[in-house]
Amino acid sequence: MKMNDMVIISVDDHISEPPDMFKRHLQGEDLATAPQFHTTEDGSNYWTYQGMTMTSVGLNAVVGRVPEEYGMEPQSLAQVRKGCYDPQARLDDMNVNGIAASLNFGSIGGFDGSRCFHNAPDKNLALIHLRAYNDWHILDWCATDPGRFIPCAILPTWDMDATVAEIERVASMGCTSVTLTENPTKIGLPSIHNAYWEPMWKALSDHQITICLHIGSGNPQPHASLETPIEAWITTMPMSIAVGAADWLQLEALQRYPDLRIFLSESGIGWIPYFLERADFSHSRHTAWTHSDFGGLKPSEVFRRHFMTCFIDDAFGLKNLQDVGEDMVAYECDYPHSDALWPEVPEYLVKSLDGLSDLQIDKITHLNAMRWLRFDPFKHYTREQLSVGALRAQAAADGVDTTPISSGGAAPLAEGEEKRRITSGDIMKMFEKQAKVA
């Protein structure tokens, strides 16, 4: 398949929310008590909510920046591409990158809402504002172009009745996916193996809603020490989801709800074959005393039935697609984070697809995502209109500017300090400094 003929859906991108996001969906005291956007004297932005301060507004939103200014910055919406917070500008950036459709995770509430709403002391207000967040995401961001944005809601899982009600509400609005923490015990809730979650499993299954588990949404992404170079931490980030994947693979609800679907967002795929081999081996060796039960199937068979994996750049995984599974792989761009290959996704992707059939390429680039997320962009556009070539032609006609951004982004090293390898500790200190300024 020629590069310009590909149709690419990204199942993992991100939003840096705009300051006015709640204004159309709340009024009066509900609006006054919603998360508030602030700007410091030096131009940095942060949010406050119920006594909490949330910095890193543009955390790792470095798409379009010169490589020297990559990092866990920036701290201001003024320092990022407009596509990070404006859906129309995002469509422009998708066009120039050849991306037909995109599913987006938020920032202010964390990938699953736990950073903000779950930690709020007044849960009555938190429920109001979480619902308003979903309204903004579905009715403002995604409604900008329903054929190109895939809605993904957050849930008030501290209250199971409210969770079921919100599933029903967002489903009625056309939302077919939700994002959850991979480990709810990290936010003070029962583990996924607890009966507490049964009403949610049923509601998700009844409404055919897919679960997205994003790396970093529960289990830690560990680094060896504060002196460990930050690249070591970044290297292992995708594989950190293996802990959650093994936990969810043991979920007994998968036997009760055979249609339950789970995305491992930003997981990578190259490690999956050994993970499945190890799961089968462990089960065969230990089930006599662990009493594990996969309904008569092998763990690998359960995984292939219920889980979808995603990749940004994984040539090894694609070379071993037969062992990964061509029906359980989807593409992700990760815009606007530093792993994103914007605006050259098609060029990078096509190099890794050599030797695959056109059908396999279609599955990986969009068909698997469409099936798993129950999303059909071809109800709104023809395939030809959503091809890499057509989208880039539109971007050229619209004059989308891809000039690299340089704003002198704050480096984690102290001014005048001799250049050296950046460590995990440097990043931790940078976050502490930002919190004090806010």
Confidence check: pLDDT of 69 > 90? no
Which residue type is seen at 277? E
Section 403-418 average pLDDT: 74
Per the prediction, the chain carries an average pLDDT of: 93
pLDDT given for residue 5 in this prediction: 98
Confirm if 190 and 196 have CB atoms less than 8 A apart.
yes
Residue 434 has what pLDDT?
62
Radius of gyration of the chain (CA): 21
Confidence of residue 56 (pLDDT cuts 50, 70, 90): confident
Confidence category of residue 438, pLDDT binned at 50, 70, 90: low
Look at residues 175, 134, 178, 179 and name the one whose alpha carbon lies nearest to residue 151. Answer: 175
- In sequence order, the β-bridge partners of residue 104 are 13
**Mean pLDDT in residue range 348-358:** 96
Instruction: Say which range, 20-24, 150-154, 208-212, 220-224, has the weakest mean pLDDT.
Output: 220-224
If pLDDT is split at 50, 70 and 90, which confidence band does 411 have?
low
pLDDT, mean of residues 66-80? 81
Q: How many CA atoms does the CB half-sphere of 149 hold within 13 Å?
A: 26
Q: How far is CA 139 from CA 102, 131, 150, in A?
A: 15, 12, 11
Round to whole Å and give the CA distance between 385 and 378. 9
Tell me the pLDDT tens digit for each residue of 308-336. 999 999 999 999 999 999 999 999 999 99
Q: The domain spanning residue 164 has which CATH number?
A: 3.20.20.140
pLDDT tens sequence across 123-175: 999 999 999 999 999 999 999 999 999 999 999 999 999 999 999 999 999 99
What's residue 110's pLDDT?
86
pLDDT: which is higher, 421 or 294: 294
Residues 6+ apart with CB under 8 A from 418: none
Give φ, ψ of 59 to 5 degrees.
-45, 115
Nearest C-alpha neighbor of 221 from the set 164, 260, 183:
183
As given in the structure block, the two tokens for residue 214 are: 């994003």
Say what percent of the chain tops pLDDT 90: 80
Range of the domain at 37: 7-407+424-437
Residue 1 lies in a domain: no
> Over the stretch 245-256, which tens digit does the pLDDT of each residue have?
999 999 999 999
In a domain, 415, yes or no: no
- Beta strands 153-154 and 149-150 are unpaired
Any domain includes 220: yes
Taking only the tens place, the pLDDT of each residue in 82-92 is 999 999 999 99
Question: What is the structure's pLDDT at 71?
Answer: 73
Its pTM stands at 0.95
Does some domain include residue 413? no
Total domains in the chain come to 1
Whether residue 419 is contained in a domain is answered as: no
